[in-house]
Amino acid sequence: MNNAPDLTSSDNQLLAALPREALALFGPDLKHVSLAHGIVCYEAGDLIDRVYFPISGMISLLVAGRDGEIVETGIIGREGAAGLQSGLGERRSYSRTAIQIPGQFAVVSAAHFERAVSVSTPLRDLVLHYIEIRWAEAQQIAACNALHLGSQRLCRWLLQAADCTGCDHIPLTQELLADMLGMRRTTVTLFAQELQRRGVIRYTRGKITLLDRKRLEGYACECYETLKREILSPRIGI
């Protein structure tokens, strides 16, 4: 629960896009917290009790199969928020929502958030617009998982993760990446090693650093560009 010295709420692009008066509605109820990898914000079916605005970390939306296998259906970074739909009234989560990359998050209770949304048109516009964006993203990811090959999705994911956290150093393990992409751990390691050999990333156990974004984009599917366009610049109050 420590306040980050050099990061502020405005490092989350949704919060930054809000007019000052709308932001003021949260007051001290908007808290900065540090959250570690693996913390579950809500399980599928849970009542959404908080809204999480990533500042430097990243949240994954995960759907678990009956045998425990996990597929990632969306990721949320500083361009977005998890649980925003609770601003429209009590909502349950459709997916397991968990901290994927640790970092700073601005968090407000769903009750406070709903109250603020009920009196602020810009905030309500933001919520509605963001729900639309997530809907578009879910369709893109569904298409991507069906259409694109593992190496393309790996590169897309790395670019997205770097954008989400605002940092080209991505703390993650082969297990995590393999689960997210639905490939075997060894396959992910070997793809990552090949990207390293080509000078595109640096790969050490537990960490990937992007060295050459342009070339990484060349190996990624077009979904990276599409998703980036869709989530760009939320239009507030228009």
Q: Which positions lie near another protein, rule CB under 8 A? A: 1, 29, 31, 33, 35-40, 49-50, 62, 70, 98, 100, 107, 109, 111-112, 148-152, 173-176, 178-179, 183-187, 189-191, 193-195, 197, 203-205, 218-219, 221
Sign of CA dihedral 87, 88, 92, 98: negative
Instruction: CB nearer to another protein: give 208 or 227.
Output: 208
Q: How far apart (Å, rounded) are the C-alpha atoms in residues 233 and 46?
A: 30
Q: How near is the Cβ of 92 to another protein at its closest, in Å?
A: 17
Instruction: CB nearer to another protein: give 17 or 200.
Output: 200
Q: How far apart (Å, rounded) are the C-alpha atoms in residues 36 and 82?
A: 16
Q: How near is the Cβ of 189 to another protein at its closest, in Å?
A: 4
- Comparing C-alpha atoms, which of 175, 36, 48 is closest to residue 103? 36
Q: How far apart (Å, rounded) are the C-alpha atoms in residues 44 and 74?
A: 14
Q: How near is the Cβ of 118 to another protein at its closest, in Å?
A: 13
Instruction: CB nearer to another protein: give 33 or 231.
Output: 33
Per DSSP (E only), the strands in 65-126 are 70-76, 96-101, 103-109
Q: How near is the Cβ of 145 to another protein at its closest, in Å?
A: 12
- Comparing C-alpha atoms, which of 4, 79, 67, 12 is closest to residue 35? 4
> Letter for the amino acid at 166?
G
Instruction: CB nearer to another protein: give 124 or 215.
Output: 215
Q: How near is the Cβ of 202 to another protein at its closest, in Å?
A: 12
Q: How near is the Cβ of 32 to another protein at its closest, in Å?
A: 12
Instruction: CB nearer to another protein: give 185 or 228.
Output: 185
96, burial (CB in 10 Å: exposed 0-12, middle 13-18, buried 19+): buried
DSSP class of residue 183? S
Instruction: CB nearer to another protein: give 31 or 129.
Output: 31
